[in-house]
Amino acid sequence: MRTIVIGAGFTGVQLARKLLANHHRVVLIDSDAERVRDVGSQLDCAVVHSQGNSLEVLEKAGIASADALVAVAQSDEVNMIACSLADAVYPKVLKIARVRNHVYCNDVDHAARNYAEAFSGTRRPPFGIDRLINPDFEVAAAISRAIVHGAVGGVVELGQGYGIVTVTLGAKSPLNGTPLWRLSSVPGWHFLVAHVETAAGAVLPGGETVLSPGDRLGVLAKEDELSAVAALCDAGPFSTGNGRMAIVGAGSVGSVLVAQHLAGAWADERIPKAARRFEVAVVDESVSRCRAMVERFREVRVFCGDATDETLVREEGLDHFDVVVAASENYERNLVTAAYLKSAGVKKAIALTATSSVARMAMRLGVDVAVPLRGTVVDSIMSHLRGHNVKSVHTVCNGAFEIVECQVAKGSKSVGKALRDVGLPAGAGLVLLLHGADGVSCVPRGDTVMAEGSTVVLIVAAGNNDAVRMVAG
Amino acid sequence: MVNVLVRSLSTVMGLVGTSFLLPVFVAYWYGEWRALTAFVVPMAASWLLAGFFWLRRRGKLRVGGVENAFVIVGSVWIVVSLFGAIPLYACGAFSGFIDALFESVSGFTTTGASVLSDVESLPHCINFWRCQTHWLGGMGVIALAVALIPILGVGGYRLVQAETSGPEKGKLTARISDTAKILWTIYVVLTLIQTCLLHFAGMGWFDAVCHAFSTLGTGGFSTRNASLASFANPAVEWICTAFMLLASVNFGLYYLLVLGKWSEIRDNTELRGFVLVVLAAIGGATVLEASSWATVSDTARAVAFQVASVISTTGFMSQDYLTWKPASQLIVLSLFLIGGCSGSTAGGIKVIRWSVLSKQLRNDILRLLHPHGVFTLRINGIPGKGEVSSFVASFIFVYFALVFVTAFIGACSGLDLFTAFTASLSMVGNVGPAFGSLGPTANYGGLSPALKLWYCFAMLAGRLEVYTLLILVGSSLRRKNDA
């Protein structure tokens, strides 16, 4: 695939790096000369020094033959105009734009919902943007996913009720000291371990891998079995909602989180809505933000003050909350807030961090889940750029592995072979046959046959796209 | 200023004078020639006056400053009340002009307290006019003038605002004359519906029109001595109960209903409070009174009628509530303090003010429990209305100050304590009947002239929500000092 990326900031470069690893041909465009020089020496791709919102520049960068245009420049307007311009001449190119301003996003959302007919078929979406990425929405969604599944860890939802949940092995777990091939002898355990993160690093487990306390496991399980997994791993209490959640930071991510929560966006149909409703409280230091919050959401309790202030924590009982999400714009502060409240007695603490490397540090401080802002944005852009057969991509183990959901392609070498004969490259594994030829989903075994058109879930080392291409073509 | 004042006064007087055409028609129909002249002469005079000032200076009327608007509205109401008393006095049914004035003020302010013990002997046209003053005063003579007369369009917004009740005065439409037209249209339509219903329930057309005027204006004058009790007709009582309640709801809500904005009606804070109070009062009093009546449906009808009559500040009577149990009397008395909704034809403190205060109370308690908490006050689902609660608090202070002064003056002129207090609540709240010696079967005829004059002031002050008359008095005192 050929992809043009406008904006060589952190997100643009990360994205280019991933795309290059996936054998895309990438052209980066940035208006900052120094940045262009810098990035040009780091990455094996063309870097153009120019404004992105010019059709001439885009044509020079090869938009005519490109498959996708990703606009992640600093300015929303540049991103939107670049897509809009390119769309007027090259409507076939897939356009993805990062738009931070909520008003623009809501406008597009409103148009798409209320004028669905006008924007369907051959008619192009507003501004010609096929996928609009708002960092706040993406991050809030990632946090929501973590909360819904009891804040045990990040949960990757795979459909058909399956998910891969990340849990930390407790000291009392019966799994400790057992090699993986003997795990089925542990009473009640019939789950697949997808990935293991030890102090030494993240690995795709083999039969000889031995688990020890403190390891973080990625376990494939049905969603209704998640609490059984947590119990066997001794991962601490597993609440399914109906508790109290405090969101520290009434900024954009905080308000999107509240909105998502109140709208029941993450409600699971099988569990009664009332049972999973969190009672939400918001803490922020700014009076005007607090006021805006309380005026916008009537069900939310808002406290004005510093969440790490002992008096406030005691008076408002923050230490007895079930979940605390530190989601302010000050990412370093989020770490401190989440770690402090966790030590004060909060059951689960979640922190929004800037990057994956800080997220790793957060875990060491006792934070249960750290959601990296930039990583989440890159992930969600990547999930739209994997070709038709790739349905979704999630990053786990702080970026060490990717969980890829894809369809077995027509001309793929793997079609018709049993799994053991396919010969997936090293550093890749097939986790789940999500939608087999017979319509049944199952955890695959050696003799499972790969049928054309069936959906499978792979786990691969980050950047290693060979396995995915072998299956999805 | 004087020029603007005179022109607006003459315009509104011309309009009210023109409305004499209705009682003139009634007088002609029933052949009441003496009463007919009592209407025709002031009508002609008002036309001459309005015509003179209109010819002298044409063009749009510019109200000018905010204070002017209050002065104009206050003066208009005083002058219109005086003007409306002329035919009452001229027909000879009243013993003096002060009695006629009391009746007229009581009519325009939709109080419905009468000085007469025998209204059945009055000419038909006089009874018609008494009920018509309710109807004109209910929705507001200035709103009617702004709706009908284009020269009041400029600055009319301020005038109508000073006349409308409630702490928050919204605009239904961009232009105030359109708003006034819409409100008056709704008012006329409701009146026509009630007239027809009353007629089909067995009333004559004359009585049906008079009682519809009286109900929709939430006034309380009747063409019978025993008020609605004299009809002894359950259907009539139910119809009046329904329309008294309808008239004490904000008329803007009917416009929303026509526009189909259901969610806004559902979220209306005041309507919720009103429905709650009405249901609670009816339920409570029905349970208390159930033992003294033959059937539950009789009890419910009598109680619902009386609750509607008092909370809408109408003051119709189907039962003498002084014969009820003390606890149920107390429920009725508490409704004197509440009143109808803002933007309706009802008087009183208004439900919205109590809603605001109760929400403020809730926030204050929450603030005690959560020292770091941030709270907001919502009215109709709209947040950030915190400052309204301080306006409301000061209004209630002024309101009760007026009530106590009025009660004091009543006590000075020989009323007993309870009568003086409840009569004062009744006058300022524009209800009509009170408790004690001024109960629903009594009348205000025996009071001293000075007390009647003060009650006139209290009724006008209550109708214009105190501030307008306070500003009028303050402004004229200041002018005097300047001069």
- CATH number of the domain to which A321 belongs: 3.40.50.720
Q: How far is CA A395 from the centre of its chain?
A: 6
The per-residue pLDDT for range A330-389, each reduced to its tens digit, is: 888 999 999 999 898 888 888 998 887 887 788 788 888 888 888 888 888 887 887 667
Which band of pLDDT confidence, cut at 50, 70 and 90, is reported for residue A473?
Answer: low
Contacts of B370 in chain A (CB under 8 A): 301, 303, 315-316
Residue A459 falls within a domain, yes or no? Answer: yes
Test A305 with B372 for CB contact under 8 angstroms.
yes
Show the domain range for B467: 357-482
Q: Which of B267, B269, B372 to mutate to test binding with chain A, by most A CBs within 10 Å of its CB?
A: B372
Test B372 with A304 for CB contact under 8 angstroms.
yes
Q: How many CB pairs under 8 A join A and B?
A: 37
Same domain, A96 and A37: yes
Which of A208, A232, A256 is the endpoint of a domain?
A232
Same domain, A189 and A246: no
Residue B390 falls within a domain, yes or no? Answer: yes
Which of A313, A347, A378 is the endpoint of a domain?
A378
pTM (predicted TM-score)? 0.79
Average pLDDT over residues A139-156: 67
Residue A284 falls within a domain, yes or no? Answer: yes
Residue A383 falls within a domain, yes or no? Answer: no
Contacts of A306 in chain B (CB under 8 A): none
Taking the C-alpha atoms of residue B383 and residue B400, their distance in angstroms, rounded to an integer, is 28
Same domain, A356 and A417: no
As a whole-number percent, the residues of chain A with pLDDT over 90 amount to: 15
| pLDDT value of position B48 | 93
What residues contact B5, with CB distance under 8 A and at least 6 apart? B68, B71, B72, B75
Rounded (10°) angle between helices A10-21 and A373-382: 40
CATH number at residue A393: 3.30.70.1450
Same domain, A163 and A193: yes
Q: Considering only CB atoms, which residues of chain A are within 8 Å of chain B?
A: 283, 287, 290-291, 293-296, 298, 301-305, 312, 315-316
Residue B364 falls within a domain, yes or no? Answer: yes
Residue B460 falls within a domain, yes or no? Answer: yes
CA distance B384 to chain A (A): 7
Mean pLDDT over all residues of chain B? 89
The per-residue pLDDT for range A57-91, each reduced to its tens digit, is: 888 888 899 989 999 999 999 999 999 999 989 98
Q: How many domains does chain A have?
A: 4
Same domain, A398 and A341: no
Instruction: Write the burial class of residue A464 (CB in 10 Å: 0-12 exposed, 13-18 middle, 19+ buried).
Output: middle
Q: Which of B359, B365, B374 to mutate to test binding with chain A, by most A CBs within 10 Å of its CB?
A: B374
Residue A370 falls within a domain, yes or no? Answer: yes
Same domain, A227 and A259: no
What residues contact B389, with CB distance under 8 A and at least 6 apart? B356, B357, B359, B360, B377
Contacts of B379 in chain A (CB under 8 A): none
Q: Considering only CB atoms, which residues of chain B are within 8 Å of chain A?
A: 370-376, 378, 383-384
A414 CB neighbour count, 10 Å cutoff? 24
Nearest to A295 among B370, B372, B383 (CB): B383
CA distance A237 to chain B (A): 28
> Radius of gyration of chain A from Cα atoms?
23
Contacts of B375 in chain A (CB under 8 A): 294, 302
Which band of pLDDT confidence, cut at 50, 70 and 90, is reported for residue A242?
Answer: low
E strands, B22-124, in order: none
ipTM of the complex: 0.72
Taking the C-alpha atoms of residue A338 and residue A322, their distance in angstroms, rounded to an integer, is 12
Same domain, A283 and A363: yes
**Are B56 and B79 within 8 A, CB to CB?**
no
The per-residue pLDDT for range B117-140, each reduced to its tens digit, is: 888 889 999 999 999 999 999 888
Same domain, A121 and A20: yes
CA distance B376 to chain A (A): 6
Taking the C-alpha atoms of residue B344 and residue B350, their distance in angstroms, rounded to an integer, is 9
Q: Which of A244, A302, A306 to mutate to test binding with chain B, by most B CBs within 10 Å of its CB?
A: A302
Cα dihedral A455→A460→A466→A467 (10° resolution): -40
Test B373 with A296 for CB contact under 8 angstroms.
no
Contacts of A254 in chain B (CB under 8 A): none
Test B371 with A287 for CB contact under 8 angstroms.
no
- Of all residues in chain A, the one with the smallest CA distance to B366 is A301
Taking the C-alpha atoms of residue B11 and residue A181, their distance in angstroms, rounded to an integer, is 99
Residue A238: pLDDT above 60?
Answer: no
φ and ψ at A380, to 5 degrees? -75, -30
Same domain, A102 and A192: no
End-to-end CA distance of chain A: 12
Nearest to B372 among A291, A296, A303 (CB): A303
Nearest to B378 among A283, A298, A301 (CB): A298
Nearest to B372 among A294, A296, A312 (CB): A312
Show the domain range for A42: 2-133
Alpha helices in A44-101 (DSSP H): 55-60, 76-89
Residue A177 falls within a domain, yes or no? Answer: yes
Same domain, A127 and A143: no
Nearest to B375 among A294, A305, A316 (CB): A294
Residue A32: pLDDT above 60?
Answer: yes
Q: For residue B452, how many C-alpha atoms fall within 13 Å in the half-sphere facing its CB?
A: 21
Taking the C-alpha atoms of residue B261 and residue B263, their distance in angstroms, rounded to an integer, is 6
Residue B243 falls within a domain, yes or no? Answer: no
Which of A209, A232, A255 is the endpoint of a domain?
A232
Residue B235: C-alpha distances to residues A246, A315, B194 (Å):
58, 59, 12
CA distance B381 to chain A (A): 9
Assign B233 to helix, strand or coil. Answer: coil
- More confident call, A55 vs B64: A55
Residue B344 falls within a domain, yes or no? Answer: no
Taking the C-alpha atoms of residue A28 and residue A47, their distance in angstroms, rounded to an integer, is 5
Tokens matching residue B355: 């809603």
Same domain, A218 and A127: no
Closest CA to A323 of A365, A282, A375, A357: A282
Q: How many domains does chain B have?
A: 1
Residue A267: pLDDT above 50?
Answer: no
Residue A330 falls within a domain, yes or no? Answer: yes
**Are B340 and B244 within 8 A, CB to CB?**
no
| pLDDT value of position A155 | 67
Closest CA to B342 of B163, B76, B145, B104: B163
Same domain, A142 and A169: no
Residue B334 falls within a domain, yes or no? Answer: no
Residue B201 falls within a domain, yes or no? Answer: no
As a whole-number percent, the residues of chain A with pLDDT over 70 amount to: 89
Q: In degrees, to the nearest 5, what angle opens at C-alpha B211 toward C-alphas B209 and B215?
A: 120
Residue B294 falls within a domain, yes or no? Answer: no
Residues (pLDDT < 70) of chain B are 1, 58-61, 63, 151-155, 170, 483
Q: In degrees, to the nearest 5, what angle opens at C-alpha B307 toward C-alphas B426 and B442?
A: 45
E strands, A379-464, in order: 390-396, 401-407, 428-435, 455-461
CA distance A271 to chain B (A): 29
Q: Which helix (H) or strand (E) holds B264?
A: helix B262-266
Closest CA to B328 of B277, B288, B279: B288
